[in-house]
Amino acid sequence: MKISQISVFLENKNGRLAEVTRILAENNISLKAASIADTSDFGILRIICDQTEKARQLMHDHLFTTRVNDVIAVRLDDRPGSLAAIMTLFEQNRVNVEYLYTTHIGQEQRSAVVFKVEDVERGLSILRQNGMETVKGF
């Protein structure tokens, strides 16, 4: 299943990340995963949370530039080679990975890896065909 991810544009300035997380906290939004892609001038904060639409509206109201897009999350066993298995699968099927980050599935005490791939539908169907377990929600 596809997972919604919100990206937020941040300048490399003191306190920007603190502001975003504070706004989410004050509105009782629970973060399930977060990562930052940074360049020398700006960063892109990518988050997965329990109330995507509300979080996006809050960011918009506070004049942040945001974007929502779909990513894939896959359960990962805690043993050597589990990520390599997925990457090999993607490589063989020429699925282009733009970025990835890992997170934790709270209730299951397991890890998950979040992928942004060029073609989300195709990525999902390849995982399914090969018996990989995708995360339906956090």
Partner 1 sequence: MIWNEQRECEDLETRRKRQLADLKELCFRLYDRVPFYRARFDAAGLTPADIRQLSDLSRIPFTTKDELRETYPYGLLAVDESELREIHTSSGTTGTPVVGAYTDADISLWGEVAARCLCMAGGRRGDVVQNAYGYGMFTGGLGLHYGARALGANIIPAASGNTKRQLMLMRDFKSTILTCTPSYALHMAEVAKELSIDPDRLHLNIGVFGAEPWSNAMRAEIENKLHLKAFDIYGLTEIIGPGVSCECAAQNGLHVNEDHFYPEIIDARTGEVLPDGETGELVLTTLTRQGTPILRYRTRDITRIDSSPCACGRTLRRMHRLLGRNDDMLILRGVNVFPSQIENVLLRIEETQPHYQIIIERGASHLDEVELQVEVEENFFSDETKELERIRRKIHSELKQELGISVKVKLVEPRAIARSEGKAKRVIDRRNLQGGTP
Stretch that binds partner 1, among 35-43, 81-89, 105-113, 126-134 (CB under 8 A): 35-43
| Phi and psi based region of residue 41 (left: phi greater than 0; alpha: psi -120 to 50; beta: remaining) | alpha
Query: Which of 45, 36, 32, 38 is closest to 3 using CA atoms?
Result: 32
| C-alpha to C-alpha distance for 53 and 47, rounded to whole angstroms | 12
Taking residue 52's Cβ as centre, other Cβ atoms within 10 Å add up to: 16
Query: Per CB under 8 A, does 73 bind partner 1?
Result: no
Pick from 15, 18, 28, 39: which binds partner 1 (CB under 8 A)?
A: 39
For helices 16-26 and 52-61, what crossing angle results, to 10°? 130
Pick from 1, 25, 30, 42: which binds partner 1 (CB under 8 A)?
A: 42
Query: Per CB under 8 A, does 9 bind partner 1?
Result: yes
Site map for partner 1, 114-133, x if CB under 8 A? --x-----------------
Query: Per CB under 8 A, does 46 bind partner 1?
Result: yes
The least CB distance from residue 107 to partner 1, in Å, is: 26
CA atoms within 13 A on the CB side of 111: 10
| Residues near partner 1 (CB under 8 A) | 5, 7, 9-11, 16, 37, 39, 41-42, 44, 46, 63-67, 69, 98-99, 116
